[in-house]
Structure 1
């Protein structure tokens, strides 16, 4: 055996980060690494371990848990709840104050639990490294922990093992599963003495990478990078440096919270001197200011939003999507661009034979014999080979594995140089050679052709199949007279061409309908894949994507950020082929720079940085890696693109429902504030129509369940016909404020104020008349304030039904379609009745029993409030068509897609035919 390099190399005295070129000739690489074919000595390995460190991925120290939890207590809405609790406790309502404190704690713990995912992606990366590996040290095979590998170690690579570090093959051939790094399921072959002409290191025929797996073959490899310096380590570093930003809803809730806080505090501060000028005493003016503050603080808003999002999470889980962060539900709803991978998401992740030319029966016979995969129930091996064996079985030409192996005289495995494999089989006492491989490798070895085909015609068929995005194989055979050939060179010559096989990983049947749905919703879909561009473009065409451009990875590398921004800002959809982790990250950044809300799918280790950078990372639950699942915020349990469309609809529904209960809560601020304005502006001549405790009873009692029920409202008709919501559009819009304050609030305030005065005037009250505890009108005054309380509650019922739709009529969604709302309204009525008629509660909240005629006055209130809003929405429907767009990004149906190439691939293809350089070769 020829030994390259000395068995006992001199110590490596270079710095730990000294770079070597792993693609240089083997002798030069071994010299630069100061190692040899027999590996390092144990002493040198120990010294290098001290120098380079362990072969581990470092964990960045995250935020201490107590700091992360503490942040949840100072969120703007949490601060408002603290103020509300302090006011409740200061007013003597200990039960309500304590209840608010419990809400604060529960919300903080829930948010902390949902978002404590800081280091999980990097921890998951470490699980891709094996626990123990075999290396050559001191010329002997020894097992060592993978974490103690060093640069210069010689690895022994065997079938079924995971690669523990980045290494260069120096002997042997290995079939490698690179899906963890590239996202593509096709196996690749790495051979030590192959010529390395690849454009990027991931495609090098001689390099192995940490985290990938050897599924066939064996060999020796010299380690050139460990730990953070490996490809896996580089991706870990990218993941660590990508920080999650606020979701659109988190940003909007924060803005709303500060707006509410400013209005509440500003109103209280501004009207305090107004009360003094109106003649109120300092104590009365202070009471008035506190009342305004409490009336403007929606104490139930934060828990209502949290519970609505939690309900959305539960709903999505039942439809195949697991959400790791509550706000991700809404982020999906505001998505404007989906960046999806191809394999397993748009496709079935199972190769199938789509087309066969020539004699199908003979072709089936050849692929059944020329194979090494297990065709049984638990099929194992190359996915392409499994597909060929299934094709043979479907044509009743399957050969049992035991018989196939028994009758096999010789096997010449596929390798990257020959681009084919062959077997010599004993068929009825006659030796026959069966060959399959890349057409450009097999066809030149064919000397005989079918009667109805010529070599030029077959090559034209190859171009046609490749142009449709199929993986193309050629199959051939010959009879071996005399002694059976034992080597590939003698076996694979003077062949008879039999046929061509076109394979494709077919689209999932439900994806086209999902694509139509997201197109109707005005959402673009870009395909980002590590696969061949024409293959991906064909899949895109089959599922209905209007991907009229194919951009290869080299071109993206050469683009400036400004050029990439401009490319992605142009109309239409794009297929990005042969991508790297950095490319996916750049694409996500460019889309966000253009103001898009990006949903990025992925399943491999290489996808983790982009999943973290996107507004919402979508990982595959079945075929994906732990790394991708940890980095993502949404996990598809069925690995299906259609589930993303379901999630977008659910996200839009959740956001609409957040607006609905914000509208519902805001509308009650006006009838709660107006009584205090009347009290202040009259200088106390009009007594307070509502007490602070009654306001708290409304905000935390009667309105809570209907608000939660609005969070479970079914989707409004036409939800997926709208264009995506602009990123800058907030929860609160002018239309919402118009409905809440100018319409629903004003109508409710007029009705409530009228009820208050009717009760007072009926008792003989006049402005300025005393209503204190010892006054004759005190009971009537308590009934009047109770009437105000009851009026607000009944107006809430009308507001709840008005808030169910933003545009459509109540009839179109059904009066009883939200049964939870009906139950919430019933609870509201029972709760209000308890406060009005139960003596213990009367003493706490200052209420008095209402007489039947007073209750009768409040009965029309809900209908009046709802009818006013229904008339406004009807007026809007008549004036303008429903806002939205249909078919904003419908596919163009172009069969010939322009391919944007780098300089190395600038030569144009002939019209209607693929560029020969784009033919799909078996791997």
Structure 2
């Protein structure tokens, strides 16, 4: 291969044989061995994202925030005042907190990167003469591959066969009008204008083609442009903005409190300035939410990983918050609410119906059937319908690579069902396709809802085969095949056909119509050049043949998922291209709506004003026979009503609605590359139940953030209470807790249990609550009251009692409270230990907001208990290791003190369980 010295224009001018020789390939594609060699030579077919901030700069930024600078200055002042140990400790806090933040961000980035790897794009290639599906990352120059409407072009490539293809090249050219493509050379005007060349990063909007890859990865034109723009900028999500606001607010409050206490210490207690500053610094440190932002980031990352295990891949961590706010889901029917496993159970022909029995299945790359269900040769009409079903069909079956693998259907479930139908009738697809090869194709699109193929006939003429939705097929048919004879279609025929369709639709079944037209060799009604045949020229004066009736059963798990949504006050609006009767039947069957639901068709929607539509979407409604373009208007209208909308989609035309929705959800199995690129979330199983699971997880993540916030804030009150007591007794009660000991709580004992709360499972009843309003704040009145007025106040009382408990055991009130020495150190140690044991109870209590902790399993969160074990071990080290005793002003505790401490969490836990029980009873009465 000598591709590097040749331009795309050079490749465009070559004939196919020259091109194949130049690229070392053939119509049968590369061999597996050659593809492997080229993958090593050229690397993976990926576009490298912009350079991230260097690890060093990313590390250093964690030490330059407002609070970090405050702590650097405070440590310096402490050293200057002669308290070197305290200054070093404060700087150590800064260092450890910065390192912790960096580690958290790094862990979150790794989680995000791992999720990106779980979003592969596939491409259908020909290797060793066989069609197969591979990861687009493994595409190499010289590969022969197929592309169709909805695909993102995976590489710069030369087109060899083209059928009605148009490509959106706006990503490269900025031109929004799709460009028509052909297999012959025509340069056109401007850059990227070769008509037979397609470029990586562009999108197929219609048609199909076969192409040969010219360049991949960073060697593509798109890759070259990407290499020039390496800086990625991310905007803060609403949640990040709120957290930044919250951090600033708490920091400012802490500083203001510190200033007030600094002034009072000087003028009220008559402390020296240096000691007053250290005293105020203790108050500031007590109110700083250390580790809030990085811990939140990691919590979001853990949430996305849990969602991934439930088949919902989030492309951005920020989308987690929006999931918890979702109030409306605009959902497709086929494949999302249903299994997308079409099975044909009837073939309807004028005056007769064939029941199709038995189960077809895919085995070793071929469609198998147990017994021939009917003999198509005995019925000319049936034979014609089966021939259309077989030839007007792009679905293929990829044989498994190994005996452990399963065959893969390359195509749609509907066409796979047609393949199974024809196999049941004894037809061999390869044989029939060889006898009647495809001369031209007019691909399916969502506007006409039809697909047409053209084939040769034995007499030198051509036959046009069309399949599609019934309403569109009747509009182009003016004749009907009846008993092997063609006659004019009457109004009675149309009524009979529509009646049959409505009868099946009412049962939740789907009809697919078939028609044909034969054109003689000398006919002037169709251009002789097959590639020049237009839709209007082909799809007219058709002969209607019949219907296949197929069932797509609801997913088994959809019933519970729908019930969850109803309990959670999340409305589901079905938006489908299926008939009104079929849509309503399925919706009622799965409990989505009542039998009184309003069904609005696409035609009706076009006639509705915006105000009428706004009223309609507020109630029970289904949209049927709508085009994907209608979704954008439906989503926009719901948003105009104040709803937070999640919308599903899989096609090219779904992309605008997916981008418009608050959460765009693309199908990972059947979705096009365009839909996946536009979406915020991708379902790896195309299952509606996975959407509901993701919403539940989104609510859980937000709830866990509030639990984490409650936990870290509630210790602020008992940390500040000793200073308040010292201040208001004008120093008569020596400071029950030193600054070093406050740092111990904030930095050491609190951190791991707080992280454990970020990984808490869903609380029972979380889907029985209405969606969280977008105006809701992370730090709400309930958290403030519980943190400062309940948990914090109780812990303050207990820690203060613990301080006086030690003094009582050592002769107080008969003697004055010790302000230094062993008794004082033991008393401050007891205060510190009491706060830690109050935090043990808080960690357990914070696991649920209303439900009993027993309902989720008191030992189910191992991270919480490992965190508790760590803080008790750390406390023991501070109390009994001599070096740490001197550093943190601690002293050993006796048996009676430990009994006092161990008992603390038990009544706190039981009292909180009682409070939650009373709250649940109150809610139940309401």
- Scaled to the shorter chain, the TM-score interval is 0.5 to 0.7
Residue 776 of structure 2: which of 729, 748, 751 is its match? 729
- Tell me by how many angstroms 1:110 deviates: 6.0
Any conservation in 2 of the 1:553–1:579 contact (CA below 8 Å)?
Answer: no
Can you list the C-alpha shifts for 1:402-424, whole angstroms capped at 9, x where unaligned? 44256669999889999987989
Partner of 1:672: 719
Residue 872 of structure 1: which of 900, 903, 915 is its match? 915
SS of structure 2 residue aligned to 1:212: strand
Partner of 2:620: 572
Any conservation in 2 of the 1:685–1:767 contact (CA below 8 Å)?
Answer: no
Tell me if 1:851 matches 2:894. Answer: yes
SS of structure 2 residue aligned to 1:338: strand
Partner of 1:38: none
Partner of 1:389: 419
Tell me if 1:746 matches 2:793. Answer: yes
Any conservation in 2 of the 1:842–1:848 contact (CA below 8 Å)?
Answer: yes
Tell me if 1:860 matches 2:908. Answer: no
Residue 157 of structure 1: which of 156, 179, 182 is its match? 182
Partner of 2:228: none
Structure 1 Cα separation of the partners of residues 235 and 520 of structure 2 = 66
Can you list the C-alpha shifts for 1:701-722, whole angstroms capped at 9, x where unaligned? 1111211222222222222222
Partner of 1:833: 876
Any conservation in 2 of the 1:304–1:708 contact (CA below 8 Å)?
Answer: yes
SS of structure 1 residue aligned to 2:844: helix
Structure 2 Cα separation of the partners of residues 332 and 704 of structure 1 = 27
Q: Rate the CA distance shift 1:76–1:869 in 2: closer, same or farther, 3 A.
A: farther
- Tell me by how many angstroms 1:833 deviates: 0.6
Within 5 Å, give how 1:571-590 maps onto structure 2.
Answer: 571-575=619-623, 578-579=626-627, 587-590=634-637
SS of structure 1 residue aligned to 2:648: strand
Partner of 2:598: 548
- Tell me by how many angstroms 1:795 deviates: 0.9
Residue 92 of structure 1: which of 84, 88, 93 is its match? 88
Any conservation in 2 of the 1:69–1:109 contact (CA below 8 Å)?
Answer: no
- Tell me by how many angstroms 1:696 deviates: 1.3
Q: Rate the CA distance shift 1:332–1:414 in 2: closer, same or farther, 3 A.
A: closer
Partner of 1:52: none
Tell me if 1:459 matches 2:506. Answer: no
Partner of 2:31: none
Any conservation in 2 of the 1:244–1:612 contact (CA below 8 Å)?
Answer: no
- Tell me by how many angstroms 1:650 deviates: 1.3
Partner of 2:384: 366
Can you list the C-alpha shifts for 1:847-897, whole angstroms capped at 9, x where unaligned? 1111222222222211122223222222222333188xxxxxxxxxxxxxx
Within 5 Å, give how 1:216-231 maps onto structure 2.
Answer: none
Can you list the C-alpha shifts for 1:214-271, whole angstroms capped at 9, x where unaligned? 33799xxxxxxxxxxxxx9xxxxxxxxxx99754533442343233223312322233
Tell me if 1:600 matches 2:647. Answer: yes
Residue 278 of structure 2: which of 287, 290, 298 is its match? 287
SS of structure 1 residue aligned to 2:547: strand
Question: TM-score, length-normalised on structure 1?
Answer: 0.67
Can you list the C-alpha shifts for 1:197-216, whole angstroms capped at 9, x where unaligned? xxxxxxxxxxxx96235337
- Tell me by how many angstroms 1:486 deviates: 9.1
* More divergent stretch after superposition (414-423 vs 873-882): 414-423
Residue 429 of structure 2: which of 390, 398, 401 is its match? 401
Can you list the C-alpha shifts for 1:817-845, whole angstroms capped at 9, x where unaligned? 22322222111211111111111211221
Residue 479 of structure 2: which of 434, 438, 444 is its match? 444
Which residues of structure 2 form unaligned runs of 5+? Answer: 1-48, 79-86, 121-135, 138-149, 162-168, 212-221, 223-232, 355-373, 399-408, 468-472, 527-537
Residue 688 of structure 2: which of 600, 618, 641 is its match? 641
Q: Rate the CA distance shift 1:760–1:148 in 2: closer, same or farther, 3 A.
A: closer
Structure 2 Cα separation of the partners of residues 494 and 639 of structure 1 = 38
Tell me if 1:813 matches 2:856. Answer: yes
Partner of 2:156: 131
Q: Rate the CA distance shift 1:261–1:878 in 2: closer, same or farther, 3 A.
A: same
* More divergent stretch after superposition (832-841 vs 268-277): 268-277
Q: Rate the CA distance shift 1:767–1:254 in 2: closer, same or farther, 3 A.
A: farther
Partner of 1:268: 258
Can you list the C-alpha shifts for 1:732-789, whole angstroms capped at 9, x where unaligned? 232222222222212211111011012123324569958455xxxx110000000000
- Tell me by how many angstroms 1:299 deviates: 1.0
Within 5 Å, give how 1:653-692 maps onto structure 2.
Answer: 653-692=700-739
Can you list the C-alpha shifts for 1:326-374, whole angstroms capped at 9, x where unaligned? 2323332232222334554345556543543324244653333233247
* More divergent stretch after superposition (286-295 vs 245-254): 245-254
Any conservation in 2 of the 1:295–1:695 contact (CA below 8 Å)?
Answer: yes
Structure 1 Cα separation of the partners of residues 880 and 923 of structure 2 = 48
SS of structure 2 residue aligned to 1:526: strand
Which residues of structure 1 form unaligned runs of 5+? Answer: 1-61, 137-143, 175-179, 182-208, 219-231, 233-242, 884-923
Question: Which protein has greater RCO, CA pairs closer than 8 Å, 6+ apart?
Answer: 1
SS of structure 2 residue aligned to 1:744: helix
SS of structure 1 residue aligned to 2:664: strand
SS of structure 2 residue aligned to 1:804: coil
Residue 321 of structure 1: which of 285, 309, 312 is its match? 312
Any conservation in 1 of the 2:328–2:645 contact (CA below 8 Å)?
Answer: yes
Structure 2 Cα separation of the partners of residues 655 and 493 of structure 1 = 57
Structure 2 Cα separation of the partners of residues 749 and 154 of structure 1 = 72
Q: Rate the CA distance shift 1:822–1:210 in 2: closer, same or farther, 3 A.
A: closer
Partner of 1:257: 247
Can you list the C-alpha shifts for 1:137-194, whole angstroms capped at 9, x where unaligned? xxxxxxx9x98999999966359x9x999999x9xxx9xxxxx99xxxxxxxxxxxxx
Structure 2 Cα separation of the partners of residues 638 and 133 of structure 1 = 33
- Tell me by how many angstroms 1:497 deviates: 8.2
- Tell me by how many angstroms 1:387 deviates: 3.0
Within 5 Å, give how 1:323-362 maps onto structure 2.
Answer: 323-342=314-333, 344-349=335-340, 352-353=343-344, 355-357=346-348, 358-360=352-354, 361=374, 362=379
- Tell me by how many angstroms 1:691 deviates: 1.0
RMSD of aligned residue pairs (Cα, Å):
5.5
